[in-house]
Amino acid sequence: MAAVLCVNKTKMVLPYEFDVKTLITDGRTNNKNVREIQRWLKTSSMPSLHVESIALFLISCDNDISATETTIKKFFKIKSEAPEIFNDRDIDNEILTKTREVILACSVPKRLQNSVIHCYKLSDIDYRNFILSDIFKLGFMIIDVSQRYDPPDELIAIIDMEGLGAMHLTRLKVSVIKTFVDFLQDGMALKIKNIHVLNTNYIAEKFIAIAKLFMNKALADALIVHPIGMNMEEFYKEYVPASHLPQEYGGELPSFTTLHEVSIQQLRELKPLFEAEDKLISVYKATNS
């Protein structure tokens, strides 16, 4: 069923295909917590959220009410302050059409103990096309693909640094990296299990060192760096089995490019969600300026 998202008194249909009642029946959240967040939203300066959105935040915060409220506040604050990453998310607009040629990004269609796996890899290694805010925009959009039908418990991200060169360092913006890290650890309605960085060279290590300046202990502990030429058999055994990986990593799934195209099509179907969320952000900015 499609969910309804409320912007002030206007209701807009969003393409969520799960029902909060199912999440409650499965014990992933409960009516009491949902109602408590609804009451808090009415007395706060936050925009109204439908129960499906509330459930996503509750699950990501282990149903801790205080943590859920804080995450919702951070979600809106960070997104409102970084339009270059979180606004204009039509996958077919000029910026994202270019960006999806620069990186491959996909939500793997198989879950690992209800953890969703997202894979990211440079496709175009020309540093002149490496625009970090646009890459982060597409990366965060993939989160919504994985939450459409059945919210995962956690996220396993696999970031392949192959192709990263010294000139990519000239494209770095520390403020953009800080926003990326802040949203990952404070504003995202999905817990992070692990972030695997593959094919790490000395250039990638510089990226990571900057990001770590802004990481809390939990996120830093979730980060696992793998060298060039790592033993994939050990990776399968310890972290992610071959059955859940693209062909490029010796996996049993289709190629990275095929999975990328599937995710891009799914993002087309989510255009109403991104448009509605942009309106929510506008409401937040109007009431918190």
Per-residue pLDDT at 13 exceeds 70: no
pLDDT of residue 171: 96
Report domain 86-268's class.
Answer: alpha beta
Angle at 155 between CA 258 and CA 32, to 5 degrees: 130
- Rounded (5°) CA angle 199-220-167: 40
246 — pLDDT class (breaks 50, 70, 90): very high
CA 156/CA 132 separation, integer angstroms? 21
Cβ(151)–Cβ(59) below 8 Å: yes
Is pLDDT at 12 greater than 90 in this prediction?
no
pLDDT of residue 289: 79
Average pLDDT over residues 233-239: 98
Predicted confidence band at 64 (pLDDT cuts at 50, 70, 90)?
Answer: very high
pLDDT per position as a tens digit, 129-182: 999 999 999 999 999 999 988 999 999 999 999 999 999 999 999 999 999 999
Is 155 in contact with 132 (CB distance < 8 Å)? Answer: no
Domain range summary for the chain, segments of one domain joined by +: 3-82, 86-268
pLDDT band with cut points at 50, 70 and 90 for residue 14: low
Mean pLDDT, all residues of the chain: 94
Quick: pLDDT tens for 97-131.
999 999 999 999 999 999 999 999 999 999 999 99
How many residues are given for the chain? Answer: 289
Q: Which two tokens stand for residue 110?
A: 């198989």
Best CA proximity match to 119, nearest among 184, 196, 192, 185: 196
> 197-212, pLDDT tens digit by residue?
999 999 999 999 999 9
Q: What is the CA radius of gyration of the chain?
A: 19
Q: What is d(CA 198, CA 200) in angstroms, rounded to the nearest whole number? A: 5
d(CA 196, CA 186): 19
Nearest-angstrom CA–CA distance, 101 and 131: 12
Token code pair at residue 226: 């793998």
| Alpha-carbon dihedral sign for residues 77, 38, 286, 95 | positive
Show the tokens assigned to 267: 């993002």
CA distance 25 to 171: 48
